[in-house]
Structure 1
């Protein structure tokens, strides 16, 4: 029997925009929370305009909804409110009083002038879990600086270990192909909020969560940080090779490229047998991973010569047959066309209010009894303003109509 989603009954007030905060709140929405996205009247989340490409309507024409915005805002309700106005700030305070969680990504101290900072809102809702997502955190010499994913990838070290080696063609600083700092920060914020909800069961109280892009980004470097801690030497770019495991990299075949990732000694020896070079598995120079790392250049030269003689898919078939981790390098279209991606339904299409279908990526969170539900396409700007004012705040029809009229007037003056 299917049970309700895990966060059903939890209300989240989302004051965030761009990616890190919305990624967090989309996770919470996928898990069943009622996420109310507060957007600036007439403008909304900055990413609504980050196109092309844009969503197509039922007739195949571009809408004003950017593909970027669609990636992080499903299952939410949109409410227009201008926090810079007394009425808008008061409305947001009312919603905060009726919410369990608030997520914001304004500059440190930026919401205090509107009475929307943690210290102000805890007075109206002591149970409120208030999550601040910033570039550098709430304290320290850089706390007041804005933070952006690309900048943090450089400052935080990722670009020093990403890309081809500096001594090879194409070497030099390289960012990741997606905003990994924003994404991982959104994931850490999600974890923190879930933990704070659990703690509230014991204390009955909310708290302020301080989640920073820089902190999250540095944590993301994982074993590379540990490599530095244990050697005193900062790791450098290694292209598609692994810093600590050999062979664990891309190889060129006669008709393309493939990844080979041997994670232990038995896999390495099986790999050598499968490519017709069992002697390399027994060679004392390469008998252990420690020795293979030390003799990386010699071994990779030998393996590369062999791999170039065969076809990519033939190598993959032989390696998969003996349990050696390997695979092709797909583009995104090929990745979604893969039979496993199809079986797991990694693309979902949701009916959109503009008459088309909004394609979204499935949540990787899978539950046996209380699954993620795909309830709502990413909302239009202000789509749920009337609904939320009526159902959450209990506003009468005349008050809602008056608020809507003032919104229209405000937008017309922009």
Structure 2
């Protein structure tokens, strides 16, 4: 008997779930709910190019991850809208406007939204980057001789600052932590990349926060917590993201910075309910703790895990985290997790140029980081997956 699988969220994780289900042989009825802002059908674009090629070049288009015609080929019905509530007892999702979509199996793929804090919300001249419409607005607001302040020095903040710098804008990054990308790279590698951004001409204000943004209808500047003032035309907020779970607060699901799941991505305490992508927090077998991973590869891999579990192949989500970012004229790649306390060992090159470095602690290999050296980095993916010791990694 056919089941009705409802996938809520038509960005990467949701679309890949539909595709993986059909690829795995599912003959069930599939309904995809999408509500991407600024689109006519609710289907999202692939996000990584938005802060790279799409932001850099107005001639580059941002095609959707999947078209309505392709969904027809996948025998999937598309519902344009967004969810506002989940009723597990009645087995349906409530949509904006009051309509409902019933399900036998639910896949939550609503992703995450840009984090904001009081006083630092989007308004004229203040932008976030989550959609193609956001990237278009940022590019239009940043003339070649203008200035931009990027609030937040994580991967996206550093990447946006670099892209706008290459377009000719005077870019400043404001980051309360002492180095750029320190959460993802650790202090030593983060410090090296920070020096390289500074040497490239990007203004960095590290160890200081934003006290306020001056100007209501037109941004005039940014007031910092140390009392200094940065005149600017445009502000881009890169404060990270929060999982999109507001519509689930009354559902009874366990929500702790995401939908809490087991190793197979089944929502705890709920029957036939799964979560994929940014919104999922699960017990990672490799690390023995609950994690939430916002990277592109996790969205794809988690979709495949859920599709396998729904088509009769029990599968745990235990892949090695992977993220990449394009900046400083090259590609920075991170495999595994860089912990601040771990030792750093250079494998090839040096931190001021192309390099591959590994980090380790507790007797094991924890991560591998490479800049513009993809080939020497490859072997560490297998070593990380195999749980290699520190000695094996350095052999």
TM range (shorter): under 0.3
Tell which structure's C-alpha radius of gyration is larger.
1
Would you tell me which structure has more helix in proportion to its own residues? 1
Would you tell me which structure has more strand in proportion to its own residues? 2
Normalised TM-score (structure 2): 0.28
- Which structure would you say has the larger RCO, counting Cα contacts within 8 Å and 6 or more residues apart? 1
